[in-house]
Structures are given as structure tokens and as C-alpha cells.
Structure 1
Amino acid sequence: MTDFNFNFNYLVNLDGGISTPSRRKLVLKTNTPSDLSKALVLYQPFPGGQCIGRNLVLNANTKYKPASHLLKPKNKIESKEKHTKACEKPDPKKSSYGNMFLFGMVLVVTVILSLTRSNENWDLCDTKSMVVDLKLLKHELTTNLYGQLSAAKSILDALEEFQVTVEQMAVLILLGGPGTGKTWTTHLIANSMSEQTNQVSLHLGPWASSQDIQMAFNEIKCCRWNLIFIEDSDYADSQQIGTLLDMVSSVSQNTTCTRRKIVMILTSNYGQKEFAELLFQERERFGTRYSVSHEDIHETIKKLTSPLINGFAQRKVPFIPVPYLPLEKMQLEQCIHNDLELKKKTAPPDVIDKIIQHFRFIPPRKDYFVAAGCKTVPTFVNLYA
């Protein structure tokens, strides 16, 4: 076995002699020339490194000569990482710790990404899209909805309370005779909301199918206020009402998006007779439409029945009834002036009287209330103005 003896005070010459001791020297003792060729070690100095082998030169008399590329000097500037890999054996403990650290980092990043995805809707919903400004709606309802102070108050109170609660859905049913302002109210609400709200319109009756109802509810978006306006609910058959209630229950139980607001507004002509009788009694007591108590209105609402109301009651789906009292001559005149203003027209008092004469008032000999409200006002304004 080759015997290596390192002495740093001498340097081996080609003839085996010893040169001056002024430099560090290396003495190599070997038994056979063949073992000397195995002792050729690449000298790659690096400051602070641990490799101390050098390129050794064989005796000139031996037939074993080193390869020419081993005699050429190597670049003295080399990265510390390459030197460490060449000179040191990897520590299995360090490798194990490194793998564990890397695995831990990957696990942490994965968990953070999963939490980020799960909370993506929450982050997106933390915007102005989840808040609506009801000041404009309040101004529109109190200014442009004539004679329906109780209805305007019911709508504003319901939306203000709904905005600060965690509830996802609110159902409003606008009840009252034709021409009392129910459809006009839906236009005021739609035009008062910001562009960030999602608005869907749906008409029930013979021209609507169950698929149309499902498609309307499929348009509901997350992280938004969703307004679903449903007209002609009185023409809905039992199958349509059942589909409507199924979709309401499905949306209410949906947990894929918990950050959304859904307001479903339906219009119904039920309550026309009952509200007319209530207001008639108030007029007979020398009161006005504005003096009717909220308690009397709510007691009257409790007596109302319809396929739609009965369906909500059977399914135990809560809804907010909004009463629309019958209009009187004063409100009819306001509707006429408003339509003239929208059309940028003017009309003298005699023309307005001619328009009013086309409307029927009830009850007989009293002429308290307009039978059809403001329903046909735009038609007669176009005829006379």
C-alpha cells in the first residue's frame, strides 16, 4: 500500500533531490512508479479551503507521464460552491435538515395559497360594491312617488335594515291597485342604484316558463347587490309560484358565496279593495290618506290572501308587504304635471281638466279615488298636449 508522508518544508525535484527549504515542500514516498501516477491530485487553491493536494511531477526516467492537461495551471478564481462540492463530502444530516426545511416551506406556501383562494370572494367583496347609498333613493321616493308615504317608508326602512344585517335575501311584495305607483317605484329604485348593482327583470304569466325563472336567478352575482324585479306575479300559475319559491330556498341555502345581497321585489294588485275600504273609512272620519295609522294598514295586510302570499306563507319564506293606497284627484294631477315635465311640454288648466275627465272615480257619488290611478296618464297627455 502506498505510504504518503507530507512534509511542508521541502519540494521534490524531477531527479528526486531536495531543493531549497525557502518554500513549503512536499515529500512523497512511494514503493512503485505505478502508484505515483495515482497520486496525481489536481491542485485547486482557494482561500480558506481544505484541499492541499498539488500537481506532482513524475521522475523523468519513468515511463509513466501525467496527462498534459494535468500539467497546465487551472484558473485560480473559482466559486466557493464548486470548491466545496469538490473537496467536501455532503453531510447526510445537513441534507436531511435541508430537505425538511424545503418541505416545510412548500407546505406553508401551499396553505397560504389555499387560504387566499378560499378568501378570494371575501377580499373582492371588501369594496364599495357591498354598500349602496340610499340617500338618492330616499329623495326619489319622497319626491316622485305621489301619495304613497307609507309605501316609501316601508321600502326605505327595509333596505336600510337589510344593508346592516348578515341576511343575504330580502323579499318585498308591493301590494295595491293598478296605477298606484308600484311599477313606477321599481323604476325609481333601479335608477337610484349605482352601476355596481346587478339588476334582473322577470315577467311571470303565460309568457314565462320555469326555465326563465331559473335563468333569472342564475344571473345572481357574488359580491354585489342583486335586484330582481318580478312583474305580473298575479298571473303566475301554481307551477311558476312553486319554481319561484324553490329558487328562493335554493339561493338562501347556497353557501358558495356568503357575501352578497339579494333584494327580490314583486308587484301584485291584491289589496286594492281592502285598502280602498280602509281609506274610505278614514275619509268618512274627516281624515286623510296621511292620517291612516300604520297599525290599521298592517291589520288590513294580514287579511290579504293570494296564491303568491299563500305560497310564501306555506313555505315559511319571510317577506315584507308594502301597501299602496288608492290615489285621489290631487295625486292624479301630480302625475299629469310630472309626465308633462318629462316630455318637456306645458298645458293650461283647461287641458289638464280635460285629461282628468277621462278617468273614473270611486265610490259612486263620492269620487274619492281614481279607479285606475295614473296608469293611462301618458296616453292622454300625448292626446291633448
Structure 2
Amino acid sequence: MSDMYLIGIGLALVMALVGLYNNWFQSSECCNDNWISLNRKGLENDLAYKLFGQHIANEVILKAIKGSLSTPVPKKPLTMSLHGNSGTGKNFASQLIAKNLYKNGMESQHIHMFVSTLHFPHLQLIDQYQNELRAWIRGNVTKCPRSMFIFDEMDKMHPGLINAIKPFLEYTNDVDKVDYRKAIFIFLSNTGGDKISEFTLGFLMDGKERESIKLDHLEEDLSLAVFNNNNSGFWQTNLIQANLIDHFIPFLPLEFKHVVLCVRAELASKGVEGNENIITTIASTMVYYPKEEKILSLKGCKTVASKVNLYY
């Protein structure tokens, strides 16, 4: 066997190992601008054209995210509390943020989602949950300051757990030598949904345009409702008393026209270009209220996917 042949084999082996290393390196998510970088235009378009019927949430979320990430050293972690009835798009909004901030979207190792009834189901274990939650947040922010934490079903979360994360949301340079100011905390809750729906229904029945509903109409009443409702999770918690939640964001109940858009989007996700008559028919199978006027969808777009499956 010639020396040149052996050299050729050796070179091929080296190149193969380099290729494997490069593939591993490129697929191994890091905490840097290659993996975490805000796609401003992408987020703006997704909120405008995919999150249906939520002009207030679109505007507030976009400004809040852009403002926080454009500041080299924020004064505190960005903390947003999203409120509204089921099916109005709160979870979807957090997914759109993830998609346009993290290269791997919701699959990013720097995004951490907690569901109250799944992760903290036992009241008698609250002390253990508090310690584990603090350790988890501390450990992940230590690894990546631009970590995002999403808490779903906040209305079912024990106030003790919410108070446990208060130190991480403060206006402070560090907590036990860890800086949390670049982290993002998003809370999702149904609390206040009835108040938001009641206001929206009255507004529409007075003949006013939905898009003329402003954040000012709802934000103060919403924060008070969340604070004073003993089923809110936030009830009497230090987070609200210390003004650590930057934005209370209302998600309005959806109208028939928004459900139509949801049906069309669901069909598109299946690669189906739906007939407009079919789309209207599917949207019409949803439940609307009040009974006579049928102005607002009772479940938003929550069950659209299952309705579409009946037809396709």
C-alpha cells in the first residue's frame, strides 16, 4: 500500500471529522446573536397577519419586545401578562414571539414553559416547587441571560409560587451574582377575560368600531381585576403590589370574521385551499353570543382545528 494512498485515506478521515464537527457545532444551539436575534419585521408581520382580532396586543407586544431588546442593559426583565378568554390567541402570541426571537422557535433550549396543572399540581408540595422553580430559573439564566419563561394557566397557580419568582423580576443588577435583566417572563391567564368580553360586547353593541378600543379603556380595570380576584393566581401577590409587571395586555373576544380567518389559516396549514362557502359553513358551526345577536365567539378559535377535521 503506497504512502500516497495512506495519505489520501488520512486526509479523507480528517475531512470527515471536520465535517462532523461543523455539523455538530452548527446544530448545537448557543446563547449568541446567531441563535437569538429579533426579526423585527417578521414579528410585526406575524402579529399583524396571523394573530387575528388583537390590535391592542399586536401593538403592545411589538413595542415591548422591540424596546426591551434594543436596550443593551435593560433596567429589569421584560414581564408581560396576557389576559383573555380561551381561544383568543394568548398562547399563539407567545409562540410568535419565540419564532421571531429564537432561531429554533419554541424548540429552543432557552425557552421554558410551565403549565400550572401539569408542573405544579400538588398543593402540599408548594415549598418544593418554589425551590425547584427558583433553581431552574437561576440555572438557565446563568447559562443564557436572554432566556424566556412562559407560565400558562396563571389563574390556577398558587400565589406562593408567583411570589417565589419576584426577586428575579426586580429593578436590580443581580440576585446572588446572577443578572436577570435580559430575561423575558410571559404570563398567560384567563383571569379578566369576562370583564374584557363584557366591555367589548357593550362597545360593539353601541355601534362603535372594534379597532377604536384602546389599551387605556381596559388596562387599569384589568390589573385591578387580576389583583382582587382570588381565583387569578396573582391575587394579592407581591408582583402586582411592587409594580413588577410591565404590561397587562388584554386579548379581545373574537367575532365571526376572525373565526373565518382562523378556519382559512387552519386549512392552509393542511395544504388545502378551502372553498369560501365551506369556510363560512365551518365558522358558522361555532357557538356565538349573545344568543340573538351572535356577535362574539364563545370559544374564540379554540376548537377550529377539530371542526376543520370534520370536513377535511
Which band: TM-score by shorter chain? 0.7 to 0.9
Equivalent residue in structure 1 for 2:53, among 147, 160, 168: 147
Aligned AA (1:355): I
Name the counterpart of 1:40.
none
Q: Are residues 296 and 289 of structure 1, via their aligned partners in 2, closer, same or farther at CA, if it must alter by over 3 Å?
A: same
| Map 1:195-274 → 2, pairs under 5 A | 195=103, 198-205=110-117, 207-208=119-120, 209-217=129-137, 218-221=139-142, 224-248=145-169, 253-254=174-175, 256-258=177-179, 261-274=182-195
Measure how far apart 1:174 and its partner are: 0.4
Say whether the 8 Å CA contact 2:173–2:179 is kept in structure 1.
Answer: no
CA deviations 1:107-144 (Å, max 9, x no partner) are xxxxxxxxxxxxxxxxxx99677863322111111111
For the 8 Å contact 2:167–2:175, the answer to whether it is kept is: no
1:162 matched residue in structure 2: 68
Match of 1:317 in 2: 244
8 Å contact kept, 1:171–1:319: yes
3-state SS, counterpart of residue 322 of structure 1: strand
1:346 Cα offset (Å): 3.2
Match of 1:133 in 2: 39
2:7 maps to what in 1? none
Residue number among 285, 288, 292 corresponding to 2:206 in the alignment: 285
Whole-Å separation in 1 of the counterparts to 2:112 and 2:171:
17
Q: Which runs of 5+ in 1 are unaligned?
A: 1-124
Residues 131-178 of structure 1 show CA distances to partners (whole Å, capped at 9, x for unaligned) of 633221111111110010110100111122222443241110001111
Q: Which one has the largest radius of gyration?
A: 1
**Deviation sequence 1:299-331 (CA, Å, 0-9, x none):** 432442233163122344233111101000000
Partner of 1:183: 91
* Partner secondary structure for residue 117 of structure 2: coil
Letter of the 1:200 partner, please give it.
H
Residue deviations 1:175-229, cap 9 Å, x none?
A: 1111000011111111111338722222223642335523541212456422111
2 CA distance for matches of 1:236 and 1:365? 36
Cα offset, 1:233, TM superposition:
1.2
Q: Partner of 1:42 in structure 2?
A: none
Aligned to 1:370: 297
In 2 relative to 1, CA 329–307 (structure 1 residues): closer, same or farther, beyond 3 Å? Answer: same
Tell whether the 8 Å contact from 1:226 to 1:262 is kept in structure 2 after alignment.
Answer: yes
Q: Render the CA deviation track for 1:21-80: whole Å, top value 9, x for unaligned.
A: xxxxxxxxxxxxxxxxxxxxxxxxxxxxxxxxxxxxxxxxxxxxxxxxxxxxxxxxxxxx
Q: How far did 1:294 drift? A: 3.2
Distance in 2 of aligned mates of 1:126 and 1:219:
14
Q: Is the 8 A contact 1:275 1:300 kept in 2?
A: no
**Per-residue Cα deviation, 1:306-360 (whole angstroms, up to 9, x for no partner):** 3316312234423311110100000000000001001112333443344224321
- Give the structure 2 partner of residue 50 of structure 1: none
Paired residues of 2:79 and 2:169 also in contact (CA < 8 A)? no
Q: Distance in 2 between matches of 1:376 and 1:201?
A: 22
Alpha carbons 1:227, 1:263 under 8 Å: kept: yes
Partner of 1:307: helix, strand, or coil? coil
Paired residue total: 262
CA distance in 2 between counterparts of 1:212 and 1:377 reads 37
Residues 255-313 of structure 1, C-alpha deviation per residue, up to 9 Å, x if partnerless? Answer: 63548611101100112111112212221221121011332133432442233163122
Match of 2:165, SS state, is helix
Between Structure 1 and Structure 2, which shows a larger proportion of helix residues?
Answer: 2
Alignment RMSD (CA, Å): 2.9
Instruction: Give the structure, 1 or 2, with the largest relative contact order (CA under 8 Å, sep 6 or more).
Output: 2
TM-score by length of 1: 0.61
Q: Secondary structure at the match of 1:219?
A: helix
TM-score w.r.t. length of structure 2: 0.74
Q: Give the structure 2 partner of residue 99 of structure 1.
A: none
Q: Which residue of 2 aligns with 1:355?
A: 282
Say whether 1:298 aligns with 2:224. Answer: no
Matches within 5 A, 1:51-130: none
Q: 1:126 to 1:179 in 2, by over 3 A?
A: closer
2 CA distance for matches of 1:274 and 1:266?
Answer: 18
